[in-house]
Amino acid sequence: MSPDLELVHTRQDESFRAWVHDYPHTVAKWHFHPEYEVHVITASTGKFFVGDFIGDFAPGNLVLTGPNLPHNWVSNLGAGHSVTSRDLVLPFSRPFIDRLLGAIAELAPLQALLDGAARGLQFPDALGRAITPAMQELAVAQGARRVVLMLTVLEQLAACEQRQLLAGPGYDVNAQRHMSSTINQVLSYIRQNLGGNLRETDVAELAGMGVSSFTRFFKRHTGCTFIQYQNGLRLNEACELLMCTELSVTEVCYRVGFNNLSNFNRQFLACKGMPPSRFRSLHRLNDEIRAVA
Residue 289: pLDDT above 50?
Answer: no
Element (H, E) at 94: helix 94-103
Same domain, 211 and 145: no
48 part of a folded domain: yes
Parallel/antiparallel/unpaired status of strands 36-41 and 53-57: unpaired
Number of H helices, E strands in the chain: 12, 11
pLDDT at site 163: 95
* CATH classification at residue 136: 2.60.120.10
Enclosing domain of residue 157: 4-165
Q: pLDDT confidence of 291, banded at 50, 70, 90? A: very low
171 part of a folded domain: no
Q: Into how many domains does the chain fold?
A: 2
291 part of a folded domain: no
Q: pLDDT confidence of 175, banded at 50, 70, 90? A: low
Same domain, 185 and 154: no
Strand partners, 165: 121
Same domain, 147 and 14: yes
- How far is Cα 120 from Cα 5, in angstroms, rounded to an integer? 17
Same domain, 103 and 198: no
174 part of a folded domain: no
170 part of a folded domain: no
Residue 124 CA neighbour count, 13 Å, CB half: 9
Q: Mapping DSSP to helix (H, G, I), strand (E, B) and coil, where does residue 76 land?
A: coil
* CATH classification at residue 281: 1.10.10.60
Same domain, 132 and 197: no
65 part of a folded domain: yes
pLDDT single digits (tens) 210-222 = 899 889 888 888 7
Contact of 135 with 40, CB cutoff 8 Å: yes
175 part of a folded domain: no
263 part of a folded domain: yes
Same domain, 76 and 108: yes
Same domain, 50 and 141: yes
pLDDT single digits (tens) 82-98 = 999 999 999 999 999 99
Residue 71: pLDDT above 80?
Answer: yes
Same domain, 159 and 187: no
pLDDT at site 150: 96
Choose the final residue of a domain: 132, 165, 198: 165
Same domain, 159 and 270: no
Cα four-point dihedral sign 141, 146, 152, 158 = positive
pTM, whole model, 2 decimals?
0.69
Same domain, 65 and 142: yes
Same domain, 39 and 98: yes
Same domain, 14 and 64: yes
pLDDT single digits (tens) 84-134 = 999 999 999 999 999 999 999 999 989 999 999 999 999 999 999 999 999
